[in-house]
Amino acid sequence: MKFKNFIKWMSDIDYRNFPGFSQSILKGLADDGPSSLLDKKEIKSTALEFGSLVDIIITDPENRDNIFYTNSIEKPTASLLVLADELLKDHYALDYTYEQITDKEYVIEKIKNLGLWSKSKDDNLLSKFDNDLFYTYIYSVIDAEGKIICTPALVEAAEHCADVLLTHPYTKELFDETDDIEVLKQVPVFYKINGEEGKGKIDLLRIDHKKKLISIYDIKTGSELPSNFENSFYFFKYYLQVISYILGVQYMIETIPELNEYSIDKFRFIYISKKLPDTPCIYEVNEELLLSFLDGWRDGTGRYNKGFIQLVDEYSFYIKNGIYNTEKKILDNNGILNITLS
């Protein structure tokens, strides 16, 4: 029996379009309130790009070039850059192809419309743009369309981290299959909780068919030292990810008869720091914490942290009632809240 045969495999686009909430939606709700359900921010940062690239190199290398553009793009300068960017606007606005916008007659007509090199005669205009830099820049920008553009330095660092994870004694065996152990990467899971559909995509699953034990791993990179990963765990609300992935695997165990005898091992994060990229570490999530992550808890400062279930209930309330401009707690208490002693 192969666990992979029970997975609902799909493309990244189909997964994103699949109905249901994800842990990132719940995080947005916890951080920014119900307006986040309408105004979904596309958060971009070098740190996120780096982590995503490491993930893809390890878990989905065949898809790397579809997601990331890793070649350097050299820009022309002055009027030549103006011309190239104006031609690219025609590509985006008019859906013209590379061949159409680089047709020499088309380019010369564009030069005249823009008033570039106005003192040059028509037979000299070709020499102003007919060079490799001009064509390569336009081609590269079109080729990179819809992809995450990474610098060569970022790519080199990500490849190093990926290589370390795949070869270091602490982590290399996690990616190896044996007769008894099945290893799956980028695994989509789906589940239901409190009447709502949830989904997640797991970086790494190890299924020990002999022990009937399923281990869930998520790969994280960051600037925190390995010993300080817990700071990131709570700041970025990775505990929502823990619950989501466990629920997804548990739902499979409960609904697929062939998996009923399987159980879930401790959730683990594989972490590698950009500050010390030669030594990864593994963080195990204490099972005693799972109930707090589900129901919510007060931290050492007295601050209350919403649990997974409360956030799902709020998500359900906002979606079903079409309310996105106020919080459920405010409505439940008719606008009156109490200050309490932490």
pLDDT of the residue at 47: 60
* Per-residue pLDDT tens over the stretch 62-91: 777 777 777 777 888 888 899 998 899 988
Give the number of other CB atoms < 10 A from CB of residue 321: 11
pLDDT of the residue at 6: 96
The residue extents of the domains of the chain are: 3-43+168-332, 78-143
State percent of the chain over pLDDT 90: 60
Q: How confident is the model at residue 20 (pLDDT cuts 50, 70, 90)?
A: very high
On average, the pLDDT of the chain sits at 89
* Per-residue pLDDT tens over the stretch 183-239: 999 999 999 999 999 999 999 999 999 999 999 999 999 889 999 999 999 999 999
Residue with token string 């820049």:
137
pLDDT of the residue at 188: 96
Q: Which CATH number applies to 3-43+168-332: 3.40.605.10, 3.90.320.10, 3.40.50.2300, 3.10.20.30? A: 3.90.320.10
pTM higher than 0.85 for the full model? no
Q: What does the pLDDT average to over 123-149?
A: 82
